Amino acid sequence: MATNPFTWVNRRGSAAVQSTGVTVTADNVVFAFPNHAFATGWYRGTVFVNLAQDVPTGTTGTLPVVFETNGVRQAVTKYGGTPLTIADLPGVGVYEMWFDRSTNVLQIMTGAV
């Protein structure tokens, strides 16, 4: 009997979430999300993230982007695992990302980078 080569993702559709704030620190740009925004269990699949706040003018473009909810921070990466920086984002709007809870990878998928 042949085994199925595919892993099924997005079993209940793609997740969508909107940021509630943005903070710039010396180390990164932190987008905040509502508590329990990612409490869907063992999620693996696409996530549509609406970054709803402008990053303050004058923010250093090389600062990495991180997401925060429930006091926990998650790094965002580009292809190859390189950190996503604020210079990589053209502004407010919806970005398509891939999240795999089992590997703790959150990676941007759009053509923005």
Q: Which of 54, 24, 22, 20 is nearest to 37 (CA)?
A: 20
| Residue 93, amino acid | G
Select the more confidently predicted residue: 95 or 11. 95
pLDDT at 1 exceeding the cut of 60: no
The pLDDT tens digits of the residues spanning 9-58 come to 666 778 888 999 999 999 999 999 988 766 556 678 888 999 999 999 99
Which pTM does this prediction carry?
Answer: 0.84
Mean pLDDT of 56-63: 95
Whole-number pLDDT of residue 35 = 86
Task: At 32, list the tokens.
Answer: 């905040």
What is the distance between the alpha carbons of residues 23 and 73, in angstroms, rounded to a whole number?
13
Residue 17 exposed, middle or buried by CB count within 10 Å (0-12, 13-18, 19+): middle
Whole-number pLDDT of residue 60 = 95
